[in-house]
Structure 1
Amino acid sequence: MTVLIRILKFTRTLAPYYAGIMLAAVVVTAAGLAVPFITGRATDVISSAVGAASAAGGAASGADSASGGVQTTIASVILLAVALLAVSLIEAGVGNIGGYWGDVMSAKMRTILSTRYFEQLLALPQRYYDNELTGTIVARLNRSISEITNFMKSFSNMFVTLILTTIAVLAISAWYYWPLAVLLAIAYPVYLWLTALTSRRWQRLEGDKNVHVDVASGRFAEVVGQMRVVKSFVSERRELDAFDSRFRATESLTAEQSRHWHRMDALRQGVLHAIFFGLYAIIFVRTVLGFFSLGEMVMLVQLMAMARQPVTSLSWVVDTAQRAIAGSKSYFEVMDLDPAAVDGGGSRPTEADAPSGAPGAPRAPRASAAAASAAADAGAAPPAISFQGVHFGYDDDADVLSDVSFDIAPGERVAFVGESGGGKTTLTNLLMGLYGVRSGAIRVAGAGADLDALRHRIGVVFQEPALFSGTVAENIAYGRPDATREEIEEAARRAAVDGFVQKFERGYDTLIGERGVKLSGGQKQRIAVARAMLKDAPILVLDEATSALDTKSERLVQAGLEALMAGRTTLIIAHRLSTIAEVDRIVTLRDGRIDEIGTPAELAVSGGIYAELLALQASPAASRRKLMREFDVIG
């Protein structure tokens, strides 16, 4: 009942549909209850006529009177037949209207529950997705909401009918002979009690099955999305075996579940049959003794059949309800998540309020004299970006970044260089507010009052281009869906997208498939660059933005990036050395700490990481391979 109440609260806007469905159920129930009375009355009329005819004994003197009585009887039974037709038509018509409302209600409920679920997923922080399989999230949506909506549709259609039928049959039975009502009153709670005993274990097993199905579905989605990797490593059989083992586990659980259910159902049915044997015996015996007429007997037998339906329907209703409860459990587990609690706390970037050169501001370690002088000169205005004593780690792990402090002036280009896993990409994640820092502060000029405002000011080109199914134009305009076609094509030309798109039959309206599967790596990356260009944000993050491009494509895209970076504050992560040489400053990271900050010329002779990377270009092949394994930089 708690689950039902929660679902009703979630879908309170559907109250008119619930009311309409229940009203239709009232009419259908009333029409159904009228049938036993009409058939009972018809039985009495016919039996009386037959008795009268027999009493007449065919005497000539009574022929006219008998003929008149037959005509009257025929007229009466015809009227009763018409009444049966009327209530049957009402039952069918109103029942179908209620069914229509139930279908519409179910569709609207699916929309509400699905939208609320998606809204919650969008509100959850990045940490949630670090620990969840995409396929499991999708499977939970499909399974949980289907089971909830199916139950609510059936429940709303059947609930009023079951309740009203039960109450009416109990009242009518008590009116005619109170022991009938007593036996029925025993049947209902006994059956419900046995059903409750059955459902406890059933629900636990259903939950175990759902875990296997969700894990298998999650892996299924991963495998389909990474099919080239699966095939290249000849892992088809291994993936199939793992998938198969999950569903085979559900087979054994289903077998155990079914044995328990049907064993208990046999007990419930046995108890029910025994009670209804008593009911029918009472009705038949009292009819023989003359307490009930034949019409009353027929009416009461039909009422008992109607009383049996709500009881036996409980089995199906409980089965559907248990599936809904098990499904809603995983649904509400997600809906009950507090984004702030999942996030783990920590501060996000805020508006830059003072230059870090002011008293008390952290100083970057090992900064060159020239860099320090430049920072002092820039001290008259707040930096565009300022990291101040930032510490960060994932979940309960050790710090990935420790005491990171640096400033980036408006319009400055800064490259971040360091060991693989040294925290370069983590810096950009923190800049965009995907995670909160453990301590320290991040200041961003124009950050605004919330994360949406902050992220509107940042354009990103990731190392792995993240595209969506849809057209080329839609992907370029993802950050600016209101952009004109001319603006989209202009950004495409600047990012060297136009050259290959013109070869497509449908041009910018070409569908690129899920995650851009129909495109090469270089083509996807150029679209990602065009997307950042069209967004036209004042802060630009290039996370190995041209690493997937060949030399020719890189030259084309680099020209566009140069134009894009002009006048923008730019962070370049582990870029090619040729690009790093053109930046204003380089920040090197070692073990999550800043090692050096300086211009390319200064760091080239400092003996640090950047100097090692420059030496890599002239080193023997074996040494070059060793260093390239340590650093995410392409020579």
Structure 2
Amino acid sequence: MRSLWNIVRFTRDLWPLYVAIIVCSVVTAATGLAVPFIIGRATDAVTGAVSGGTTTDAAIRTVIWLAVAFLVAELASTLVSNIGGWYGDVMSNRMRQILSVRYFEKLLNLPQSWFDVELTGTIVSRLNRSITEVTTFAKTFSNSFASMLITTFAVLVISAWYAWPLALLLLIIFPVYIWLTALTSKKWQTLEGEKNTEVDLAGGRFAEVIGQIRVVKSFVRERSELGLFARRFRATDATTRAQSTHWHLMDVLRRGALNAVFFGIYLIIFTRTVRGQFTIGEMVLLIQLMGMARQPVMSMSWVIDAAQHAIAGSRDYFRVMDTPIDARRLVAVDVATGDVVEKEAATGTVVADDVPADADAARRALDPVEGAPVIDMRDVTFAYEQGDDVLHAVSFSVARGEKVALVGESGGGKSTIVSLLLGLFPPSSGTIDIAGHDIAEIPLEQLRRSIGVVFQDASLFSGTIEENIAYGRPGATDEQIREAARRANADRFIDSFPDGYATIIGERGLRLSGGQRQRIAVARAILKDAPLLILDEATSALDTKAERNVQAGLDELMAGRTSLIIAHRLSTIAGVDRIVTLEDGRVDEIGTPAELAVSGGIYAQLLALQETGSTKQLAKFGISG
């Protein structure tokens, strides 16, 4: 029930729609209850005329008016039920909107560590499956449950008026049937959870394979991937068999009890009619009422089945929603208006209702402390989750306008430092200051607006070249976008496309070459114009020609800007002001290229290896000569 309450709590803005649906259900139930009385009365009128108790003309007038009343009741039921259905459709769509937007909102505010252990496809599969099950249940529940309750209560009262044993038998079967149905819930939901796990894993792998289809085909792995996908769903077959066996065995028991009780009910009605205690019309009335009572009981299993699907699905949904966030600021959305705001995570207070798009806003995001270095790491230690420390008491600083390179073996902690500077993870111990401010106290949106990053993977989005360049600066003018592309040495190849800046580049920019993607990423960083630049092996995956083109853009980007560079080519390292070498997550040396070239440390070793052409040893450091 906690899951269902969470659904209600998340969708409390839909109460006007819930009320409208319930009102329509009440009216529909009332018109439905009128029909047995009309038919019963018409039956008595007909039998009275046949037996000679009333005149034919009187009987005809009566049945005509009763037929009109029947028509009015049916038309009212048709109209109101469709109005309720319209409200149900609107409510279902609004609920999907609310749950989907809240889910995406939550994902955007979760810490990076959460995504490191989750498959992207599984996250998407969970969204589609869970929300579909929840909205389906909510729609059917709101459309039918109120009507079922009203009908059941009315039938009980009317039955007690005519014959109390009928009401007694109904009072017995209702709770017994619901109790027998509830007995299936615990085991059923456990099995449903097992099925959902397999389906989510299959969906996650599906998305991963489609996203890397070139790798799958190049390694001829179609057969194995298809087999793995099929096995996931085959595993759900055995679970479904056990689940269905349990459900239907219980259904035999439930419906058997229902059949026995209604046997007693109809026996009472028929015998009393034979004895003259009920008229033929009253018998018809009661038979129809019992049919109306039977339908809610039979529908109860279907409602509970839908509820169990919703509960099982919503558990996965709310497991994500209950995951704690560690952001100092978080993005949120007003689902009624669609407006996106930023809030303090601790208090929920709105602190900004838009995102500054211009470069000046980014520069103002962090007001530098006079004389303080742009980056100042002091005794920083860090470990992922509960694993071994990746960084050990790392200390170094980067002055304003300085270019500093990080050099070390692959896995030595270089990219981890970048993640810490971006606030993706908090340090386990030690402090990090950016522009004289403790990073733990800087609002994340201000911190990240002040940092431009070019990763080894360009990480472009589907859409146009123009949209990708402007991603870090929404609202940039065409002239600003083209100037950024020119400075990134990307304008020539963009202009060579028939659609120019409106060229669709495909998912992750797959229609572009590696060098072209990287130059788009450089243009994106140039347009953002953040005061601090981080280059995380920005050209290490490129060939020499592409690297030259990208490097020209990077040189333009770094001009007059504080830069932290994860080195990949010694030629790039030689042009920096200082080098910080890392070994096993510890700072080994800090100095200028000239100083470290003769120190005998890691950098000197790299120079020696380059001179001897030892590419195998250079690769150990992620370096190419």
Same fold (TM over 0.5): yes
* Unpaired segments ≥5 residues, structure 1: 56-65, 343-378
* Unpaired segments ≥5 residues, structure 2: 329-368
Aligned to 2:311: 325
Aligned to 2:474: 481
Aligned to 2:419: 429
Distance in 2 (alpha carbons) for counterparts of 1:171 and 1:397: 66
Distance in 1 (alpha carbons) for counterparts of 2:370 and 2:138: 65
Gap change, CA 1:194 and 1:445, over 3 Å in 2: same
Aligned to 1:110: 96
Matched AA of 1:30:
A
Distance in 2 (alpha carbons) for counterparts of 1:297 and 1:510: 76
Q: Superposition pairs for residues 508-587 of structure 1, below 5 Å?
A: 508-587=501-580
Distance in 1 (alpha carbons) for counterparts of 2:432 and 2:160: 77
Aligned to 2:434: 444
Matched AA of 1:565:
M
Aligned to 2:260: 274
Verify the 8 A CA contact 2:469 2:523 in the aligned structure 1: yes
Aligned to 1:360: none
Say whether 1:395 aligns with 2:385. yes
* Alignment equivalent of 2:606, drawn from 600, 606, 613: 613
Matched AA of 2:270:
F
Q: Superposition pairs for residues 186-205 of structure 1, below 5 Å?
A: 186-205=172-191
Deviations along 1:51-79, whole A, 9 cap, x unmatched? 11xx7xxxxxxxxxx9xx32232122111
Verify the 8 A CA contact 2:109 2:327 in the aligned structure 1: no
Shift of the alpha carbon at 1:629?
2.7
Comparing 464-473 with 150-159, greater Cα deviation is found at 464-473
Matched AA of 1:187:
I
Structure of larger gyration radius = 1
Shift of the alpha carbon at 1:341?
11
Verify the 8 A CA contact 2:460 2:508 in the aligned structure 1: yes
Structure 1 runs of 4+ with >4 Å offset: none
TM-score, reference length from structure 2 = 0.91
Verify the 8 A CA contact 1:106 1:149 in the aligned structure 2: yes
Q: Secondary structure at the match of 2:198?
A: helix
TM-score, reference length from structure 1 = 0.90
Aligned to 1:16: 16
Distance in 2 (alpha carbons) for counterparts of 1:169 and 1:254: 37
Matched AA of 2:36:
P
Distance in 2 (alpha carbons) for counterparts of 1:326 and 1:308: 28
Distance in 2 (alpha carbons) for counterparts of 1:249 and 1:557: 49
Verify the 8 A CA contact 2:610 2:618 in the aligned structure 1: no
Q: Superposition pairs for residues 196-275 of structure 1, below 5 Å?
A: 196-275=182-261
Verify the 8 A CA contact 2:327 2:444 in the aligned structure 1: no
Q: Secondary structure at the match of 1:504?
A: coil
Matched AA of 1:262:
H
Distance in 1 (alpha carbons) for counterparts of 2:578 and 2:4: 61
Q: Superposition pairs for residues 101-500 of structure 1, below 5 Å?
A: 101-340=87-326, 381-445=371-435, 449-500=442-493
Shift of the alpha carbon at 1:340?
3.4
Aligned to 1:7: 7
Shift of the alpha carbon at 1:396?
1.3
Shift of the alpha carbon at 1:446?
6.7
Verify the 8 A CA contact 2:402 2:563 in the aligned structure 1: yes
Distance in 2 (alpha carbons) for counterparts of 1:210 and 1:232: 31
Distance in 1 (alpha carbons) for counterparts of 2:557 and 2:3: 53
Deviations along 1:198-239, whole A, 9 cap, x unmatched? 222111110110111111111111111111111222222111
Shift of the alpha carbon at 1:549?
3.0
Q: Secondary structure at the match of 1:256?
A: helix
Q: Secondary structure at the match of 1:595?
A: strand
Distance in 1 (alpha carbons) for counterparts of 2:464 and 2:489: 17
Distance in 2 (alpha carbons) for counterparts of 1:157 and 1:380: 65
Shift of the alpha carbon at 1:339?
1.5
Distance in 1 (alpha carbons) for counterparts of 2:231 and 2:436: 53
Say whether 1:45 aligns with 2:45. yes
Shift of the alpha carbon at 1:580?
1.0
* Alignment equivalent of 2:495, drawn from 502, 508, 520: 502
Distance in 2 (alpha carbons) for counterparts of 1:218 and 1:102: 32
Verify the 8 A CA contact 2:120 2:204 in the aligned structure 1: yes
Count of residues paired in the alignment: 582
Shift of the alpha carbon at 1:404?
0.8
Q: Secondary structure at the match of 2:533?
A: strand
Say whether 1:36 aligns with 2:29. no
* Alignment equivalent of 1:87, drawn from 67, 70, 73: 73
Matched AA of 1:486:
E
Distance in 2 (alpha carbons) for counterparts of 1:226 and 1:257: 35
Verify the 8 A CA contact 1:494 1:557 in the aligned structure 2: no
Matched AA of 2:24:
A
Aligned to 1:597: 590
Distance in 2 (alpha carbons) for counterparts of 1:240 and 1:411: 53
Distance in 2 (alpha carbons) for counterparts of 1:595 and 1:3: 53
Matched AA of 1:2:
R
Matched AA of 1:612:
Q
Deviations along 1:340-370, whole A, 9 cap, x unmatched? 399xxxxxxxxxxxxxxxxxxxxxxxxxxxx
Matched AA of 1:42:
A
Distance in 2 (alpha carbons) for counterparts of 1:86 and 1:425: 74
Verify the 8 A CA contact 2:518 2:550 in the aligned structure 1: no
Aligned to 1:625: 615
Deviations along 1:430-456, whole A, 9 cap, x unmatched? 111111111110000175731111110
Verify the 8 A CA contact 1:525 1:548 in the aligned structure 2: no
Matched AA of 1:577:
L
Shift of the alpha carbon at 1:566?
1.6
Distance in 2 (alpha carbons) for counterparts of 1:588 and 1:380: 28
Matched AA of 2:253:
L
Comparing 75-84 with 533-542, greater Cα deviation is found at 75-84
Distance in 2 (alpha carbons) for counterparts of 1:70 and 1:241: 76
Q: Secondary structure at the match of 1:400?
A: strand
Aligned to 1:72: 58
Shift of the alpha carbon at 1:380?
8.0
Q: Secondary structure at the match of 1:606?
A: coil
Q: Secondary structure at the match of 2:607?
A: helix
Distance in 2 (alpha carbons) for counterparts of 1:341 and 1:498: 37
Shift of the alpha carbon at 1:131?
0.9
Shift of the alpha carbon at 1:165?
0.5
Q: Secondary structure at the match of 1:434?
A: coil
Distance in 1 (alpha carbons) for counterparts of 2:48 and 2:459: 84
Aligned to 1:376: none
Verify the 8 A CA contact 2:407 2:582 in the aligned structure 1: yes
Q: Secondary structure at the match of 1:266?
A: helix
CA-atom RMSD in angstroms = 1.6
Identity of aligned residues (%): 63
Deviations along 1:416-475, whole A, 9 cap, x unmatched? 111111111111111111111111100001757311111100000001111111111111
Verify the 8 A CA contact 2:129 2:313 in the aligned structure 1: yes
Matched AA of 2:601:
G
Q: Secondary structure at the match of 1:111?
A: helix
Q: Secondary structure at the match of 1:477?
A: helix
Shift of the alpha carbon at 1:3?
2.4
